[in-house]
Chain A
Amino acid sequence: MTVEKKNWPLWEVFIRGKQGLNHKHVGSLRASDSIMAIKNARDVYTRRAEGISIWVVPSNMISASDPSDEESLFEPAQSKVYRHPTFYDVPDGISHM
């Protein structure tokens, strides 16, 4: 995975609080690498509280289930988390996309 273009990639942040049992999804942020992502997550989502566990995952690495299994919608069964334009690589030379 190369860091694309000029913008830093998107990371999803999961936090387990001091007394917590598991990691909870709290939001996302931009960072150029995982070290920065964790540090930024600590600043933004925990305000540096201690005893907290932080997981960060590049957003385009997450696979999600289809939200409504009863509906037979014409959607792929395993879509990307959300339809973010940067999750999809476009070959060089293609413009207007």
Chain B
Amino acid sequence: MTIKEALFKYILRLGDDSLILGQRLSELCGHGPILEEDIATTNISLDLIGQATLFLEYAGSLSNETKTNDELAFLRLEKEYSNVLLVEQPNGHFGDTIMRQFLFDAFRLPLLTKLQESKDKTLSSIAEKAVKETKYHLRHSSEWVVRLGDGTEESHKKIQDSLNTLYRYSHELFFVDEADALLKEKGIIPELDDIKTEWTNTIKDVLEMATISLPMNNWKFEGGRMGRHSEHMGYLLAEMQYIQRTYPNMEW
């Protein structure tokens, strides 16, 4: 595997995670529990779509056939998307949405912070832009995890259930393969174990304030990074790709 090939795979993962999570959040527009939260959710969705746009543009320039970010976003087959399973899980209720966000944000913040020092200039500049937004996302999601955990009995149960379900998908965030090994060697990406430590500490602190606990079930779902998705992905892509598939080769 060449550096370019490894970098393409890696950037695509960052882009796909942002794209699919941004897409999920965009479904919530107009349906949030209160108007102020609608604005917050749309803000986060907009940030993620913005990140996806940059990551996928960069990935496209690294690919063998030089694709645009739109071609990558809208015209790949399901098995070619490399997002983690976590981000394609459905929105569920507000607790599910928040917990999915929290587990993701707690990972992305330390990752993007360290990526600012990447030897790859394009990657480091995208990371620099995304860090500020992600700090904000993590504050939002962790504050809500605490409010729901230490709120009413009902909210406590709901957010604990969300954690029990989604925690099993969070381990895939720390998936590594030879692409990661190659890039780490070249100083392009950081040591993932350090990220995992920070993630674990953030989770621990927030869960404690939220008075909820890690589930006993430590099962690890994976497959997304390898293009083997959950049943949800097909429906998500059908909706997202609809116009491009129905009216191919047109400009919008």
Contacts and interface: CB of A to CB of B under 8 A. Distances in A.
Contact of B143 (A29, A36, A44, A48): A36
A31 B36 contact: yes
A83 to B, nearest CB: 23
Contacts of B140: 39
B228 to A, nearest CB: 37
Contacts, number: 24
Given A43-B43, A48-B136, A35 B143 contact: yes
Interface of B is mostly: helix
B39 interface: yes
Interface in B20-77: 34, 36, 39-40, 43
Q: Classify chain A's interface size.
A: 10 to 19
Nearest to B43: A43
A80 interface: no
Contact of A44 (B34, B36, B136, B147): B36
Interface string A29-70: 111100110011001100010000000000000000000000
Interface in A19-36: 29-32, 35-36
Given A35-B143, A36-B143, A48-B136, A43 B40 contact: yes
Contacts of A35: 143
5 contacts: A30-B34, A35-B143, A39-B139, A39-B140, A44-B36
Interface of B: 34, 36, 39-40, 43, 136, 139-140, 143, 147
